[in-house]
Chain A
Amino acid sequence: MAKITKANSVGEWFDQRLNTTALNKVMMTEYWIPKDINFLWAMGVVLAVTFKLLIISGIFLLMYYKPDVNLAFDSVNYTIMQEVAYGWLFRHMHGVAASVIFLIIYIHMFTGIYYGSYKKGREMIWISGMLLFMTFSAAGFSGYMLPWGQMSYWAAMVITNLFGGIPLIGDALVVWIRGDFNVADATLTRFFMLHVFLLPVTIMAIIGVHFYTLRIPHVNNQSSEDIDYDAEAEKYLAGNKKESKVIPFWPVFLSKDFAVLGIFLIFYFYLVFFNYNFAMDPVNFDPANSMKTPAHIYPEWYFLWSYETLRGPFFDMFGLKAGDIGLMIFGFAQAAFLIIPFIDRDPDILPAHKRPRFFIWFWIMIIDLLVLTVYGKLPPTGANAWVGFYATAVFLLLFASMPFVTKADAKARGAL
């Protein structure tokens, strides 16, 4: 039993029972972050806030949304958008945040790749982050189905159909996922469950893990310097704040995050009020119609690059059908970035500009993903199909070459 005496303040009362002073030190005032960082280090907090916006707006939408194929479209587009006070605001916030969060995830992810923040003890940060990327993708996809518009229906049709390509169990798997032979009411209600319960709960749990994974290896810094945290923290606490290479999470690190967040929120709410069509596709304002295929079916922008790897191989090769090759590459693309820590054979942590060959690799990757994304939206005909084909080939070659590229850099530096 802890020693409980008469408390002189509310803080002390809690401290005796919950040890809040120590907790505050561990989590905030003596949780050490490197000082040598730039605004890209604020993306984690930006993501946490965007996720919070999604949860809050989602709760309000949940109060009026009806998961039924006959009611869903009108509950969103009439009840929420036209009748409920500020329902349109919550829906726009939710739709735009769902899209923008992927932009920030990609920035966060490529910051990690650029600075080599995924290896030498930081593998679990990377893996838990990639798990978040996957669960967020599932949440994005399941949420997109809920308004039951044309794109909801047809995207669900196309994507669930993909599982049919898996050998032996494919057909049964499609029925199992849909809960029906077709995309129907049972499909909508189960994706509703995933979107409002299982996936958010899973995401919150993985966010907890992701934060915890930072504890032991610490956050990386701009020059990838290996910092002696104990010594630097001691300096800081002794008052040598200017010399110390570390800063506490609160208030120093978060003050920078809030400044970045302020600018981000202006950008985000500008989109909410004025430029939302990129996140809320106009085609999805046509009610789902199983008899009428839209002229162009494409996923949301953040899935386009992997969708294009599916369409990339458009002719049979090596005795395999084009569709099967596409499906294999698509399957690989979902997990491709997960394996980066294990195919990077450079033993040092360094930013890309200090790894000349990797630096080129990095920018080719960015450009290739951009090409895949843009061509993933265009109809795959004529020259477009060939652009998609070569961009997919480059994507695969980049992963195949990563061990050699990274090893060559290490050798040139004399590290191997």
Chain B
Amino acid sequence: MRELKILAIVVFFTGLLYWGVEPFAHTKLHPHVPAPDYTFKDVDGLNGLIGDATKGAESVASNCTACHSITAVGFPPVMDDVTSAASYGVVPPDLSTSGKIYNADYLAAFIKDPAKAAKTAHKFEDGAAHPMPAYNWMEPQEIANIVAYLQSIAPKEMTNKEVYVDACQRCHSIKYGDFYGGSMAAQTPDENIKSYMGVIPPDLSQMIRSRSEGFLHEFINDPQKHLHGTAMPRVGLTEESEDQVVNYLTEVGDSKKAEREALAGPFLGYLVIFAIFALLWKMKIWRQVH
């Protein structure tokens, strides 16, 4: 009985200590923010308009392809990454998958006013302009047509890595994605991205370990919530695409997760058996002395 009483005291104080330095301290160090909003309620999006993909194709050809490649329908990039980064400040995205990975309302709002939708207007206050001009002069119906067209040409299925490449890799490197080949470096060269963003965006190799999964979702959905004033744009990923990005970060940064989880059971099972035998042996030995 006395042993159990002592054990209870030890467990109580250890638990209190743990609670204090982990969950309690973390609520103070990382203030709570509202949950991610995958409907992008705050943006001036499609507002219920239904687009016409055929008409959208014309609008895209006359408005977008001067800068953007759409390899899926035969518009290859006009320049290599280095040249286009030097021309625009950052490599413009290929639009082949935009209709799938970005929320439709967000996409419409972005075409209208990129800096506002991305919540990076604070970067362009002193005369600097967002590399993509605002299309707020365009009829909302025409914007809806463009969105409809982009959705019509987008693939139905994408791998986690493909989503990551289209959504993140223009600015972010993820070295551990191809450690020896180097193919997962940011598409925009460091010096361009630095002058565009102010800093070199961090390598994402270990983000899954340095930030929790929950934090990553909150952050990607709206970077300003956790890092007010950051140059990172809100990119407007759908919930599904964002899950795929986080899954890719897990595949790269915590590649042994499945092995770890599979090993835990047998490992702890063995230890339980060891503990039972140790306890039985102890009882046998101590019966002789008590």
Contacts and interface: CB of A to CB of B under 8 A. Distances in A.
A88 B257 CA distance: 9
Interface string A238-278: 00011010010001100110110111011001100110011
B179 A107 contact: no
Contacts, number: 132
Interface in B17-68: 17-18, 20-22, 24-25, 28-29
B7 A296 contact: no
A122 B29 CA distance: 43
Interface in A276-320: 277-278, 282-287, 295-296, 301, 304
B17 A378 contact: no
Nearest to A87: B256
A78 B272 CA distance: 32
Interface residues of B, number: 53
A256 B29 CA distance: 42
B290 A242 contact: yes
B286 A256 contact: yes
B128 interface: no
Given A82-B176, A255-B281, A273-B263, A373 B17 contact: yes
Contact of B278 (A103, A262, A282): A262
Given A39-B7, A77-B205, A78-B176, A103 B29 contact: no
B88 interface: no
A283 B30 CA distance: 12
For chain A, which range describes its interface: under 10, 10 to 19, 20 to 34, or 35 or more residues?
A: 35 or more
A338 interface: no
Contacts of B276: 262
A258 B282 contact: yes
B206 interface: yes
Given A370-B13, A374-B20, A259 B282 contact: yes
B26 to A, nearest CB: 9
A362 B3 CA distance: 19
Contacts of A304: 21
B183 interface: no
B289 A286 contact: no
A366 interface: yes
B210 interface: yes
Contacts of A81: 256
A289 B256 CA distance: 26
A147 B53 CA distance: 53
B271 A285 contact: no
A269 B210 contact: no
A377 interface: yes
Interface in B253-290: 255-256, 259-261, 263-264, 267-268, 271-272, 274-279, 281-282, 284-286, 288-290
Given A252-B285, A273-B263, A274-B264, A374 B6 contact: no
Interface of B: 2-3, 6-7, 10, 13-14, 16-18, 20-22, 24-25, 28-29, 175-176, 179, 202-203, 205-206, 209-212, 255-256, 259-261, 263-264, 267-268, 271-272, 274-279, 281-282, 284-286, 288-290
Q: What 7 A-B pairs have minimum CB-CB distances, sorted nearest first? A: A262-B275, A374-B20, A285-B210, A273-B264, A285-B209, A259-B282, A262-B278
28 contacts: A35-B289, A74-B175, A77-B176, A78-B176, A81-B256, A82-B256, A88-B256, A89-B263, A241-B288, A247-B289, A251-B285, A258-B281, A259-B279, A259-B281, A259-B282, A262-B275, A269-B268, A273-B261, A278-B21, A282-B209, A282-B210, A283-B210, A295-B29, A370-B16, A374-B17, A377-B21, A377-B25, A378-B29
